[in-house]
Structure 1
Amino acid sequence: MNLTLPWGPLALGAALLLGAAPAHAQQDLMQQLDHLTGDSLRRELTVATFKGTRVINGQSIETPGAGSLLFLISHRFGTLNSGAYNFFGLDQATIRLGLEYGLTDRLAVGIGRSSLEKTFDGFGKYRLLRQGSGPGALPVSVTLFASAALSSLRFEPQPERTTTSRLTYTYQALLARKFSSALSVQLMPTLVHRNYVDLRRDQNNVWALGLAARQKLTKRLALTGEYYYLLPGATADNFRNSLALGFDIETGGHVFQLHVTNSQGMIEKFVIPQTTGNFLKGDIFFGFNVSRAFQLRGRP
């Protein structure tokens, strides 16, 4: 008896299987390439360059989100070298209370009141450019800042000053780059204009260049630093550059900032042109900032 094997059907089935495998593999490869291409073409904005709207004394590029209200308490004790009688500065304190509100994700406004010189301040911040990744993304973020501060302190026995003479204005361009998930650096060219100065040789316009950095240490802890260099002039000759070092501590909706600095004030009017403390001689103020965010309206 002769047995005839069905070679024709077997060959046809093998050919179909061999042809289907490359086709399926090619389809998977195309899907992976499409996915990679889509990811490479996607542009993403960099977030959390800094964790708060302030680095330490000065502003960061960050603003509250749209509809978010930020309540800030800033506290500054006396100098550490004031001695045991003043409990090394803890018996003395100045404070600032502030509110910041995000009109949009880019535009924010704020107000505050400082006990130092009984000063009221108001400001606006606008996120002009934002760092990102992907095609056409920018390597840095730029935020514009402008503020006005009004001293309500009584100047006795001197003649009472006019409201205009009590005003001080600050203008800043904040340029920052987040180099990695841990390191962020910010540059802060600054102009402070004072309508009134005590002496003719004093400067109404004070220029300064600030530098700030944040180095993340753990998931919720970061080391921060801030320095303002006064450009040469009468103010630089009679006052000191502001220096501050501190830690950011994240706890849920709060951000605690503990720091030491040679500046007693907590707004640009005091920090940049009026710092007198010598950091190396113990004229160091210990202080903290605490912020809490409240979402007042839904995001668009």
Structure 2
Amino acid sequence: MSVTAITSYAQEDSLMNALEAEQARVPAKVTGAFKSTRVINNHSMEMLATGNLDVRILHRFGYINNGISELFGLDDASMRMGFDYGLTKDLNIGVGRSTFRKELDGFVKYRIWQQTTGAKNIPFSVILLQGISTWTEKSFTGKVSVEDRTAYYTQLIIGRKFSDRFSLQLMPTYLHRNMAFETGYNKDNIALGIGSRMKISKRMALTLDYTHSFTDLPDNYYNALSFGIDIETGGHVFQMHFSNASGMNERAFITETTGDFFNGDIRFGFNLSRVFSMKKKPAARQSKVY
């Protein structure tokens, strides 16, 4: 081998070593822990990019164990339509309206830390979530003020993408309702959510979403448990799932889940997410022709 070839190989090795050293000094942000900003019911550790609008349509049907007379729950449906927007890469806002109790809700979601690798190793992401909801259903006797119908919650999302296939997050939550619906209800609720995702193919993943209330729930009320499968189809994320919860906001599924999942009170549902880029792209430069 010639001296020139040896020198060339040595230069290439030196260049590669320098490039690897430079990459090690730059922290790499970990993304794609979940395919959507929701696990199923709960928010996920994912955030919308700046200027992105996420139009979300959530459907939940009746209990499958109602049998053929109710077409296994398909005759009974509730839904939530929501609009989430990325003000910045670390700050999202959103609003929604549910048919369950005709409820309006809104949230602010702020990312405190993002999981990174490399020179600055942050082992997990931390997101602060605050929300409000108020129901408009005329289902109670007497005059009920807007204040009485309003609930607030604060939640921390602490999550980690352990590998390309598996992600896990915990969601400690404090929920306050200004009015308790019935005797036995608590105005203040402490709960812990658990969300996970297991990737099974390039475009499909299994999801688990469970919320455990540490505040005693009244008789015939249960913790919300959901299993789903995410299917990514271009700009859409389509999710089919099974859940014992009918409500699709934090107040509803934490405090008003009336189905016992392990007794067969399971609802089939699906969530559809379509993200639109609302940020105007810079115009491409045109070369002058002389």
Tell me whether 1:149 sits opposite 2:133 in the alignment: yes
Residue number in structure 2 paired with 1:244: 226
Separation in 1, partners of 2:191, 2:155: 10
- Contact 1:67–1:299 (CA under 8 A) maintained in structure 2: no
Cα deviation for residue 161 of structure 1 reads 0.3
Q: Which moved more, 1:90-99 or 1:17-26?
A: 17-26
Within 5 Å, give how 1:132-281 maps onto structure 2.
132-156=116-140, 158-199=141-182, 201-231=184-214, 233-235=215-217, 239-281=221-263
Label 1:67 to 1:236 Cα distance change in 2 as closer, same or farther (>3 A): same
Structure with the higher fraction of residues in helix conformation: 1
Separation in 1, partners of 2:149, 2:11: 72
Residue among 91, 95, 99 paired with 1:115: 99
Label 1:37 to 1:78 Cα distance change in 2 as closer, same or farther (>3 A): same
Separation in 2, partners of 1:21, 1:77: 70
- Contact 2:81–2:96 (CA under 8 A) maintained in structure 1: yes
Tell me whether 1:61 sits opposite 2:35 in the alignment: no
Give the aligned length. Answer: 282
Cα deviation for residue 299 of structure 1 reads 6.9
Separation in 1, partners of 2:8, 2:54: 55
Separation in 2, partners of 1:275, 1:20: 75
- Contact 1:155–1:161 (CA under 8 A) maintained in structure 2: no
Residue number in structure 1 paired with 2:288: none
- Contact 2:31–2:46 (CA under 8 A) maintained in structure 1: no
- Contact 2:185–2:218 (CA under 8 A) maintained in structure 1: no
- SS at 1:225 equivalent: strand
Cα deviation for residue 29 of structure 1 reads 3.3
Cα deviation for residue 25 of structure 1 reads 4.7
Tell me whether 1:36 sits opposite 2:20 in the alignment: yes
Alignment deviations for residues 108-159 of structure 1 (CA, whole Å, 9 cap, x no partner):
1101000010000011111111001101121101111111011001134x11
Letter aligned with residue 130 of structure 1:
Q
Label 1:238 to 1:91 Cα distance change in 2 as closer, same or farther (>3 A): closer
Q: Which moved more, 1:68-77 or 1:57-66?
A: 57-66
Percent identity of equivalent pairs? 40
Separation in 1, partners of 2:13, 2:58: 56
Which runs of 5 or more residues in structure 1 are unaligned? 1-16
- SS at 1:136 equivalent: coil
Letter aligned with residue 113 of structure 1:
R
Alpha-carbon RMSD: 1.9
- SS at 1:272 equivalent: helix
Label 1:84 to 1:52 Cα distance change in 2 as closer, same or farther (>3 A): same
- Contact 2:184–2:217 (CA under 8 A) maintained in structure 1: no
Provide the TM-score with structure 1 as the length reference: 0.89
Separation in 2, partners of 1:138, 1:144: 17
- Contact 2:109–2:127 (CA under 8 A) maintained in structure 1: yes
Within 5 Å, give how 1:10-49 maps onto structure 2.
23-49=7-33
Cα deviation for residue 271 of structure 1 reads 0.8
Label 1:256 to 1:18 Cα distance change in 2 as closer, same or farther (>3 A): closer
